[in-house]
Chain A
Amino acid sequence: TMELNDANLHTLTEYLQKTLSPDPLVRRPAEKFLESVEGNQNYPILLLTALEKSQDDVIRVCAAVTFKNYIKRNWRIVEDEPNKISDPDRTAVKANIVNLMLTSPEQIQKQLSDAISIIGREDFPQKWPDLLTEMVTRFQSGDFHIINGVLRTAHSLFKRYRHEFKSNELWMEIKLVLDTFAQPLTELFKATIDLCQTHATDINALKVLFSSLTLISKLFYSLNFQDLPEFFEDNMETWMTHFHNLLTLDNKLLQTEDEEEAGLLELLKSQICDNAALYAQKYDEEFQPYLPRFVTAIWNLLVTTGQEVKYDLLVSNAIQFLASVCERPHYKHLFEDQNTLTSICEKVIVPNMEFRSADEEAFEDNSEEYIIRDLEGSDIDTRRRAACDLVRGLCRFFEGPVTAIFSGYVNSMLTEYAKNPAANWKHKDSAIYLVTSLASKAQTQKHGITQANELVNLTEFFVSHILPDLRSPSVNEFPVLKADAVKYVMTFRSQLPKEQLLETVPLLVAHLRAESTVQHTYTAHALERLFTMRGPNNSTLFSATEIAPFTEQLLNNLFNALAIPGSSENEYIMKAIMRSFSLLQETIVPYIPTLIGQLTHKLLLVSKNPSKPHFNHYLFESLCLSIRITCKANPASVLSFEEALFPVFTEILQSDVQEFVPYVFQVMSLLLEIHTSSIPSSYMALFPHLLQPVLWERTGNIPPLVRLLQAYLEKGGTTIAGSAPDKIPGLLGVFQKLIASKANDHQGFYLLNSVVEHMPPESIGQYRKQIFILLFQRLQSSKTTKFIKSFLVFVNLYCVKYGAIALQEIFDDIQPKMFGMVLEKIVIPEVQKVSGQVEKKICAVGITKILTECPAMMDTEYTKLWPLVLQALIGLFELPEDDSIPDDEHFIDIEDTPGYQTAFSQLAFAGKKEHDPIGDAVSNPKILLAQSLHKLSTACPGRVPSMLSTSLNAEALQFLQGYLQAASVQLV
Chain B
Amino acid sequence: MEVNVELRKAKKDEQMLKRRNVGSFPVDASSPYQDQNQNAQSSQHWSVEDIISGVNSQSLDQQLQATQAARDYSLLTDISNTNSKLLSREKHPPIDLIVEAGLISQLVRFLALSECPPIQFEAAWALTNIASGTTDQTRAVVEAGAIPAFVCLVASPHPHVSEQAIWALGNIAGEYVLEGDGSTYRDKVIKHGAVGPLLVLLSVPNLSVYATSYLRNVTWTLSNLCRNKNPAPPLAAVQHMLPGLLRLLHHDDPEALADACWAVSYLTDGPNERIEVVTRAGLVPRLTQLLASTDIAVLPPLILTHLSIHLPQTPTLRAVGNIVTGTDEQTQGVLNAGALAFFPGLLTHRRSGIQKEAAWTLSNITAGKDSQIQEVIGAGLVPLLINVLQQGDFKTQKEAVWAITNYTSGGSVQQVAYLVQSGVLSPLLNLLSAKDSKTVLVVMDAILNIFMMNDSAPNRQAADKLGETEKLCLMVEGCGGLDRIEALQTHENEMIYKAALNLIEKYFSGEVSGCLTQPLGGAVVKKTMHPLLPKQQLTVTPSKFKTTKALSVSETL
Contact status B474-A494, CB under 8 Å: yes
Q: Tell whether A786 pairs with B525 under 8 Å between CB atoms, given A440-B478, A448-B426, A884-B549.
A: yes
Residue of B7, B506, B519 near A750 (CB, 8 A) is: B519
Interface centre among B352, B511, B526, B548 (most CB of A within 10 A): B511
What does the 1/0 interface line of A765-796 toward B look like (CB < 8 Å)?
Answer: 00000000000100110010110111001100
- Tell me whether A164 and B470 are in contact (CB under 8 A): no
Q: Which of A227, A329, A839, A894 contacts B7 (CB 8 A)?
A: A227
For A942-956 the 0/1 string (1 means CB < 8 A from B) is 000000000000000
Contact assessment for B474 and A749 in the assembled complex, using a CB-CB cutoff below 8 Å: no
* A284 to B, closest residue via Cβ: B393
The answer, among A789, A890, A892, A911, for a CB contact under 8 Å with B515, is A911
Would you call B518 and A914 a contact (CB within 8 A)?
Answer: yes
A383 at the interface (CB under 8 A from B): no
Given A389-B480, A447-B474, A839-B520, 14 more A-B residue pairs with CB atoms under 8 Å apart are A163-B491, A165-B438, A226-B7, A328-B391, A440-B480, A447-B475, A750-B520, A753-B520, A779-B556, A834-B523, A884-B549, A907-B514, A912-B517, A917-B520
Note all chain B residues with C-beta closer than 8 A to A582: 513
Tell me if A128 is interfacial: C-beta within 8 Å of chain B. Answer: no
How far in angstroms is the closest Cβ of chain B from A321? 13
Name the A residues within 8 Å of B513 (CB-CB).
532, 579, 582, 908
Closest to B421 in A: A450
Contacts of B557 in A (CB 8 A): 776, 779-780, 818, 821-822, 825
Q: Is the CB of A908 within 8 A of B516?
A: yes
* Interchain CA distance A354-B425 in the complex, whole Å: 30
- Give the shortest distance, in Å, between B483 (CB) and chain A (any CB): 3
Q: Is B551 an interface residue (CB 8 A)?
A: yes
Most buried by B among A378, A821, A834: A378
The answer to whether A884 touches B9 (Cβ under 8 A) is no
The B-contacting residues of A in range 135-190, CB under 8 angstroms, are 160, 162-166, 168, 171-172, 174-175, 178
By DSSP majority rule, is chain A's interface helix, strand, loop, or mixed? helix
Interface string of A893-932 (1 = CB under 8 A from B): 0100111100000111101111101000000000000000
A278 to B470, CA, bound (A): 35
Asked if B45 CB lies within 8 Å of chain A CBs, one says: no
Complex contact A532–B547 (CB within 8 A): no
Given contacts A885-B531, A886-B551, contact A836 B518 (CB under 8 A): yes
B502 contacts which chain A residues (CB < 8 A)?
899-900
Write 27 A-B pairs (CB below 8 A) sorted by A numbering.
A163-B492, A166-B438, A174-B7, A178-B7, A230-B8, A233-B9, A281-B434, A376-B486, A440-B478, A449-B423, A538-B463, A749-B521, A750-B519, A783-B553, A785-B525, A786-B524, A793-B523, A829-B552, A835-B523, A883-B526, A885-B548, A887-B547, A899-B502, A908-B511, A913-B515, A915-B519, A917-B520
Interface core residue of A162, A582, A825, A908 (most chain B CB under 10 Å): A908
User: Would A912 and B519 be within 8 Å (CB), given that A285-B393, A448-B426, A582-B513 are in contact?
Assistant: yes
For residue A889, CB closer than 8 A to chain B, the reply is yes
Q: Tell me if B527 is interfacial: C-beta within 8 Å of chain A.
A: yes
Q: Across the interface, name the chain B residue whose C-beta is closest to A381.
A: B487
> Contacts of A887 on B, CB cut-off 8 Å?
547-548, 550
| Interchain CA distance A884-B486 in the complex, whole Å | 31
Residue B4 CB within 8 A of the other chain? yes
A581 CB, nearest partner CB in chain B, Å: 11
| Cβ–Cβ < 8 Å partners of B2 in chain A | 168
B32 proximal to A (CB < 8 A): no
Contact among B394, B422, B518, B556 with A780 in the assembled complex (CB-CB below 8 Å)? B556
* Smallest CB gap from A329: residue in B: B391
Which residues in window 100-135 of B have CB below 8 A to A? none
Contacts of B461 in A (CB 8 A): 538
A708 to chain B, nearest CB (A): 12
Judge if A653 is at the interface, Cβ distance under 8 Å: no
**Interface status of B479 (Cβ within 8 A of chain A):** yes
Q: Which of B3, B426, B434, B493 has a CB less than 8 Å from the CB of A444?
A: B426
Chain A, 282-313, CB within 8 A of any chain B CB: 282-285
- In chain B, residues 527-557, which have Cβ atoms closer than 8 Å to a Cβ of chain A? 527-529, 531, 547-557
* Interface residue tally on B, bucketed by range: 35 or more
The residue that B423 contacts in the complex, of A174, A448, A884, with Cβ under 8 A, is A448
Residue A838 CB within 8 A of the other chain: yes
B5 at the binding interface (Cβ < 8 Å): yes
* Interface pair A838/B434, CB less than 8 Å apart: no
| Contacting pair A380 B435 (CB below 8 A) | no
Closest-by-CB residue of B relative to A227 is: B7
Partner of B3, one of A168, A228, A446, A750: A168
A539 at interface by CB-CB < 8 Å = yes
How distant is B409 from chain A, measured CB to nearest CB, in Å? Answer: 12
Q: Which residue of B lies closest to A914 (CB)?
A: B517
Q: Is the CB of A897 within 8 A of B520?
A: no
Encode contact with A along B454-478: 1 for CB under 8 Å, 0 otherwise.
0000000101101100110011001
Given the complex of chains A and B, what is the CA–CA distance between A889 and B526 in angstroms? Answer: 12
Q: Of residues 469 to 516 in A, which have CB atoms within 8 Å of B's CB atoms?
A: 494
- The distance in angstroms between the C-alpha atoms of A278 and B487, with both chains bound, is 18
Known: A329-B391, A780-B557, A885-B528. A377 touches B482 (CB 8 A): yes
- Chain B residues positioned under 8 Å from A227 (CB to CB): 6-8
Find chain B residues with CB under 8 A from A225 CB: 435
Is A327 positioned at the interface, with any CB of B under 8 Å from its CB?
Answer: yes
Interface residues, chain B, with chain A CB atoms under 8 Å away: 2-9, 352, 391, 393-394, 421-423, 425-426, 434-438, 441, 461, 463-464, 466-467, 470-471, 474-475, 478-480, 482-484, 486-487, 491-493, 495-496, 498, 502, 506, 510-529, 531, 547-557
In the bound complex, residues from chain B placing their C-beta under 8 Å from that of A621 are: 511, 514
Indicate whether A575 reaches chain B with its CB closer than 8 angstroms: yes
Contact B423 A885 (CB under 8 A): no
Complex CA distance for A795 and B97, rounded to whole angstroms: 81
Q: Is the CB of B466 within 8 A of A534?
A: yes
Q: Does A707 reach chain B (CB closer than 8 Å)?
A: yes
List the 10 shortest-distance A-B pairs measured between CB atoms, nearest first: A908-B514, A448-B423, A377-B483, A538-B467, A171-B5, A163-B492, A444-B479, A789-B523, A886-B551, A825-B554
Q: Are B520 and A160 in contact (CB under 8 A)?
A: no
A746 at the interface (CB under 8 A from B): yes
Asked if A229 CB lies within 8 Å of chain B CBs, one says yes
Judged by a CB distance under 8 angstroms, whether A600 is at the interface is no
B434 contacts across to A, CB distance below 8 A:
281
Please, which residues of chain A bring their CB within 8 A of the CB of B523? 746, 749, 786, 789-790, 793, 834-836, 839
How near does chain A come to B444, taking the closest CB pair, in angstroms? 13
User: In the complex, what distance in Å separates the CA atom of A9 from the CA atom of B435?
Assistant: 49
Determine the chain B residues whose CB is within 8 A of the CB of A175 once the complex forms.
5, 7
Residue of A nearest to B539 (CB): A166
Known interface pairs A327-B391, A753-B520; A163-B437 also in contact (CB < 8 Å): yes
Task: Determine whether the beta carbon of B528 is less than 8 Å from that of A886.
Answer: no
B478 pairs with A443, CB closer than 8 A: yes
Closest to B551 in A: A886
- The contact string, 1 if C-beta is below 8 Å from chain B, for chain A 806-844, is 000000000000100110111001100011101100000
Assembly CA distance A821 to B557 (angstroms): 7
Whether the pair B393, A229 counts as a contact (CB closer than 8 A) is: no
- Shortest CB-to-CB span from B405 to chain A, Å, is 15
* Complex Cα–Cα for A785 and B515 (A): 27
Convert A190-223 into 0s and 1s, putting 1 for each residue whose CB lies closer than 8 angstroms to a CB of B.
0000000000000000000000000000000000
Q: Give every chain B residue within 8 A of A894 (Cβ-Cβ).
A: 498, 529
Chain B positions within 8 Å of A226 at CB level:
7
B551 proximity list for chain A (CB < 8 A): 785, 884-886
- Minimal Cβ-Cβ distance residue in A for B471: A534
Please name all residues of chain A whose beta carbon is closer than 8 Å to the beta carbon of B522 when the two chains form the complex: 746, 835-836, 839
Task: Name the contact of A886 in the complex, choosing from B466, B474, B492, B553 (C-beta under 8 A).
Answer: B553
Q: Separation in Å of the B215 CB from the closest CB of chain A?
A: 34
How many whole Å from A577's CB to the nearest CB in chain B?
Answer: 13
Task: Determine which of A380, A898, A899 lies in contact with B483 in the assembled complex, contact meaning CB atoms within 8 Å.
Answer: A380
Question: How many whole Å from A147's CB to the nearest CB in chain B?
Answer: 25
